Structure 1
Amino acid sequence: MKLTILGGGGFRVPLVYGALLQDHAEGRVTHVVLHDLDPARLSAVTRVLAEQAAGVPDAPEVSATTDLDEALRGADFVFSAIRVGGLEGRAHDERVALAEGVLGQETVGAGGIAYGLRTVPVAVDIARRVARLAPDAWVINFTNPAGLVTEAMSRHLGDRVIGICDSPVGLGRRIARVLGANPKEAWIDYVGLNHLGWVRGLRVAGRDELPRLLADPDLLGSFEEGKLFGVDWLRSLGAIPNEYLHYYYFNREAVRAYQQAEKTRGAFLHDQQARFYAEMSNPDAPAWKVWEQTRAEREATYMAENRETAGAGERDEDDLSGGYEKVALALMRAIARDERTTLILNVRNQRTLSVLDTDAVIEVPCLVDANGAHPVTVDPLPGHATGLVCAVKAVEREVLAAADSGSRATAVKAFALHPLVDSVNVARRLVEGYTEVHPGLAYLR
């Protein structure tokens, strides 16, 4: 099978390739095509993969190209992990928002809207090319904001585009671990949108073990989300929120922490990865060793401002291993080999959540087989969660409408309607600020 990775010069590509190296079964991926607009980044990542594959006799062949159409032709799977505007764009997203006193995180609030506005047109172009050049391919989308981008692409690819995220997987794994359960044997009742979901139950052998966790303050406060949100708030919710909900529940504290930080997350990653790619320009540099050191630093500092605000301390070592690459591999194997499995994915709603229409992309457990991902029936969300999900989905729809029409007024509306943007005037200034720093938003008139 041929796998095309869009954003193939990206720093996290070796995680995906590492998962492929562990797959030796029939029907596995045998050819990986890396596509990126930057030849130097492609060269650097190709070197890392070559060292990574040393000693693996059946390692998938790797090729690289800057020609998108060439990369897509004949693909069985397309993995999309692009970053429109690069990490410099992410840093701009953060700074413009923080100057207005609102959150600039790349998927949540003002920063997520700005990122979506410049990413959706590019993602739509990719979807149209896939439909024309590789109509039988399955697209696995990891490009953020993942739910929004998946929905944009689904308008051209239908159910053949599926969004993935490692946050729900990591959350379920942590809950299972603290309860002494095997994550592979647990059913995780998770529902919401990407980066906006809640675990409402964790069933092992038919029994929901979440009430036991919520009833034990010591157990509840012993893992990442318990430290981040606090035991009392989790017990009030009666559920365990995705870590990104910290930006909603503790927004004032999060904004203050980001404003006071020496560097925003985007600026930190921009400088860190610039050092990595600069070091890779030295042909004698140990590519794999340098990549591993950089990755460890990146993972250890994830959501550092939020953890500092909550007094959560350092991340547990078990939480530093990522996980989205494992979701991607499990998804490809299930479809390619009809190895039926259950995964939490971003897919079209169909009739899963009655408060949203059938085409709205949501994040829920899905049964996956050769025909794709099928969302399972879930219980309705409680009122507070329903309101938040509906509000954020309405914002996503305004982003899609603005990207489709080029309407500046619709873009202002998207910002103004978001729960974390507190003024229409702020929304107007955000659009002005973002269009000044992002050439990719010149289409807004």
Structure 2
Amino acid sequence: MRLTILGGGGFRVPLVYGALLGDTHEQRVDELVLHDVDERRLGVIDHVLRQMAAGHPGAPRVSATTVLDEALDGTDFVFSAIRVGGLEGRTCDERVALDLGVLGQETTGPGGLAYGLRTLPVALDIARRVARLAPEAWFINFTNPAGMITQAMQTVLGDRVMGICDSPLGLGRRAAHALGLHLDATRFGYSGLNHLGWLQTLVADGRDHLPELLARPDLLLTTEEGRLFGPEWLQTIGAIPNEYLYYYYFTREAIAGIRGSAETRGEYLLRSQADFYRAVGDAPERAHDLWVQTRRARDETYMAEARSEGEERDAADVAGGGYEGVALALMAAIARNERASMLLNVRNGSAVPGLAADAVVEVPCVVDATGPQPLSAVPLTGHPLGLVQQVKAVETLTIRAAQEGSERLALEALALHPLVDSVTTARLLLTGYRERIPALDAVFR
């Protein structure tokens, strides 16, 4: 079975390879093809993977290429984790917004729209190539903003493309652990959009345990979300939000936290990853050790702007990872017809009332050889439904703007996002992004 990773020179690729090494099933991935536009980064990750494979006689064979069609031709699965514009583009996503007093974040707010605008044309081109070169392949999208990119690619590949994210899984896992519930026997009543969802039920042994957790501030404070939002706010809304909702519920605090840091998240990653790739180039025999060290520091600083000074991230979260396990389970369920339940970004159908059938939502799904089937989600009501509908409308406008090269639609999308406070600000954002990010400016030329 052949797996192609787009963005194969990316820092997180070894996580996927580590998951593949742990798979001993006779029907497993035995060929891994890495594709990237940066040959040097490909070489560095190739060093890491080869050192990981030492002592694993059945390790998938690895090849690398900068030719996209070569990577896609005849593959069984495609895993996409590309970054159009690189980390340099991400720093601009953040800084252009922050300079205007608006949240600067990779997937949430105007930064996420800027990232989506320049990524969508590339993603759609990839989808058309997959349809031509590997029409039976299943496409697993991890490229952010995941919901928006998945929705656009579905116009070409249909339900053979789905999005994954580790945030909902981590949220459900932490909530279950706080109550001592067995993870495999617990169903997560989670629904929304990527990076914009809520855990509304936690069902085990035939009953919902979430009210019990919400009633216990001491237990809530053992979770990342309890410390992030505070038990009182979680009790007020009667649900546990995805961690990215911090940027909506505590916008001022988030902006102040980012501005008060010495560097943005993108600037930190740009610096630390540049150091990593340079260090491996100087000492390729230490590639895997250097990757482990860099990953540890990277994970420990995740969403640091949302934590109090001196507060450290939960050790289980730092060690746990997540998305690579979801990707492996998803491939196994489809290739081996191993029925599995997981949280995915898929076509809505009728899973989430109040959203269009073709809207991509993040909900529990059952997966087998026929692909993912969304389950009826716990309905969103009140402010969660309103927020999801508004953000989905913005995502749809952004997709149209990229497809049509329309500056007017891009401006409308930015202006209508709930984290952008005026049309004037939206105009300044679009101008700033076009001036600083060539790949985004090219969308309108």
Q: What's the TM-score, normalizing by structure 2?
A: 0.98
Deviations 1:12-50 (CA, angstroms, capped at 9, x unpaired) = 000000000000112100000000000100000000000
In structure 1, the residue matched to 2:344 is 345
Q: State how far apart, in whole Å, the 2-side matches of 1:363 and 1:113 are.
A: 18
For the residue of structure 1 that corresponds to 2:28, the secondary structure is coil
Letter in 2 for 1:324: Y
What is the match of residue 419 of structure 1? 418
TM-superposed deviation, 1:282: 1.8
Distance 2:185 2:164 in 1: 20
Question: What displacement does 1:285 show?
Answer: 4.0
1:312 Cα deviation after fit: 8.7
Contact 2:353 2:380 in 1 (8 A): no
After superposition, give the CA deviation of every residue in 1:343-392 in whole Å (9 maximum; x if it has no partner).
Answer: 00000001112211111000000000000000001231121100000000
Q: How many residues align?
A: 443
Alpha-carbon distance, 1:341 to partner: 0.5
Name the residue aligned to 2:214.
214
Counterpart AA for 1:157: L
Q: Distance in 2 between matches of 1:57 and 1:144?
A: 34
Give how far 1:53 is off. 0.8
Write the deviation string for residues 203-255 of structure 1: whole angstroms up to 9, x where unpaired: 11211111110111111122110000001000001100000000000001101
CA-based RMSD: 0.9
> Where has structure 1 moved over 6 Å in runs of 4 or more?
none
Aligned residue in 2 for 1:377: 376
* 2:387 equivalent in structure 1: 388
Partner amino acid, structure 2, of 1:106: E
| Structure 2 Cα separation of the partners of residues 301 and 158 of structure 1 | 37
Q: Return the letter of the residue paired with 1:189.
A: G
- 1:400 alignment partner, SS class: helix
Q: TM-score, normalised by structure 1?
A: 0.98
* Map 1:214-293 → 2, pairs under 5 A: 214-293=214-293
What residue number does 2:304 align with? Answer: 304
State the shift of 1:108 in Å: 0.2
State the match for 1:334 in structure 2.
Answer: 333
**Secondary structure of 2:218 counterpart:** helix
Change (3 A) 1:195 1:189: same
Alpha-carbon displacement from aligned partner over 1:173-206 (angstroms, at most 9, x marks no partner): 1001111011121100000000000000111121
Q: Is the 8 A contact 2:117 2:443 kept in 1?
A: no
Q: Secondary structure at the match of 2:307?
A: helix
Pairing of 1:63-82 with structure 2 (within 5 A): 63-82=63-82
1-side partners of 2:364 and 2:283: how far apart?
45
1:20 match: 20
Distance 2:405 2:381 in 1: 36
Distance 1:294 1:365 in 2: 33
How far, CA to CA, are the matches of 2:255 and 2:211 in structure 1? 32
**Counterparts of 2:237 and 2:249, CA distance in 1:** 11
Looking at structure 2, the residues matched to 246 and 126 of structure 1 have their Cα atoms a distance apart, in angstroms, of 33
Secondary structure of 2:121's match?
helix
Aligned twin of 1:101: 101
Taking the TM superposition and a 5 Å limit, the aligned residue runs for 1:55-66 are 55-66=55-66
Q: What secondary structure does 1:358 align onto?
A: coil
**3-state SS in 1 of match to 2:444:** coil
Q: Deviations over 1:44-78 (max 9, x none)?
A: 00000000011001000000000000000010000
Show the counterpart of 2:353: 354
How big is the shift at 1:283?
4.4
The corresponding residue for 1:319 is 317
Q: Distance in 2 between matches of 1:334 and 1:354?
A: 27
Query: Aligned partner of 2:357: which letter?
Result: T
- Secondary structure of 2:5's match? strand
Question: CA separation in 2, counterparts of 1:67 and 1:379?
Answer: 44
Q: Which residue matches 2:432?
A: 433
Q: Which amino acid aligns with 2:142?
A: F
Please tell me whether the aligned partners of residues 279 and 285 of structure 1 are also in contact (alpha carbons under 8 angstroms).
Answer: no
What percentage of aligned pairs have identical amino acids?
61
Deviation at residue 104 of structure 1 after TM alignment: 1.2
What's the offset of the Cα at 1:443? Answer: 2.5
Q: Which digits, 9 at most, give the CA deviation of each residue in 1:387-439, with x for residues without a partner?
A: 00000000001100100111111111110000000000000000000000111
Partner of 2:174: 174
| 2:425 counterpart SS class | helix
Which letter maps to 2:13?
Answer: V
Please give the per-residue CA displacement for 1:98-132, whole angstroms capped at 9, x wherever unaligned. Answer: 00111110100010000000000100000000000
Give distance in 2, aligned partners of 1:232 and 1:73.
Answer: 53
CA contact (8 A) 1:227 1:312 kept: no
Contact 2:164 2:345 in 1 (8 A): yes
Corresponding residue of 2:127? 127
**Whole-Å separation in 1 of the counterparts to 2:382 and 2:350:** 18
Give the whole-Å Cα distance in 2 for the aligned partners of 1:349 and 1:220: 31
Distance across 2 between alignment mates of 1:304 and 1:436? 29
How far apart, CA to CA, are the structure 2 residues paired with 1:354 and 1:191?
11
Amino acid at match of 1:113: L
For residue 362 of structure 2, what is the aligned residue in structure 1? 363
| 1-structure distance, mates of 2:289, 2:145 | 30
**Aligned equivalents of 1:285 and 1:52: distance in 2?**
12
Q: Is the 8 A contact 2:200 2:378 kept in 1?
A: no
One-letter identity of the residue aligned with 2:174: R
